[in-house]
Amino acid sequence: NAGVTQTPKFQVLKTGQSMTLQCAQDMNHNSMYWYRQDPGMGLRLIYYSASEGTTDKGEVPNGYNVSRLNKREFSLRLESAAPSQTSVYFCASKGLAGFAYEQYFGPGTRLTVT
Amino acid sequence: AQSVTQLGSHVSVSEGALVLLRCNYSSSVPPYLFWYVQYPNQGLQLLLKYTTGATLVKGINGFEAEFKKSETSFHLTKPSAHMSDAAEYFCAVSAGGADGLTFGKGTHLIIQP
């Protein structure tokens, strides 16, 4: 199993450009998540999807849109990138590990907006 | 609503000394608690988790944490630090269900030789 995969690993955008971050998981998990990590801020939840066909806002959704394409894939779109969106983006999925749930994280996408 | 406070953005210990990273949480429902480790330019790796049952939780790499409901704490410890423990550590809380994790701001652990 590859677990949670993310593409691309690195991206540089100019202000106003758009792009989509891709995430896929092969663990048959229902729930998927997008976080951003900024220095000194920890990770903050952008959007999540409890199951295929549903999405909900997290703590910092402004400037982002998401699509739960199918059970495996959950994409994050920046329609008009801003320097404040320079960050490392992590995708995660949630599933049972033993008798409890835990989240499994992808390797991250490092995005720079100039 | 939930929140996590990690005391100390940087903690420095000598190799072989006790590691203690502090985490306090706030939750309106019984919490699920997690510690993650992040090595430079890498993703997050789960160290340990508390869901229900035994309050002393053992994780990977010799780490453990104790859930203390009365103190709303979930401090991470390791008896003897190793150079390879140098990393960023995050405490996180969840209410369960499909909700995401709420993370603390992280503690950078420095190991002095």
Q: Supply the pLDDT for residue A21.
A: 98
Share of chain B above pLDDT 90, in %: 80
Q: What's the whole-number mean pLDDT along residues A65-70?
A: 95
* Residues of chain B with a CB closer than 8 angstroms to some CB in chain A: 4, 9, 32, 34, 42-44, 46, 49, 51-52, 90, 92, 96-106
Q: What is the pLDDT of residues A4-59, one digit of tens each?
A: 999 999 999 999 999 999 999 999 999 999 999 998 889 999 999 999 999 999 99
Q: For residue A35, which of B46, B101, B34, B98 has the smallest C-alpha distance? A: B101
Mean pLDDT of chain B: 93
Q: Which residues of chain A does B105 touch, with a Cβ-Cβ cutoff of 8 Å? A: 40-42
Measured between CB atoms, which of A30, A94, A108 is closest to B43?
A108
A39 has which bridge partners?
A: none
Out of A9-23, B8-22, B24-38, pick the least confident. B24-38
DSSP A73: B
The CA distance from A19 to A75, in Å, is 10
Neighbours of B16 (CB within 10 A): 11
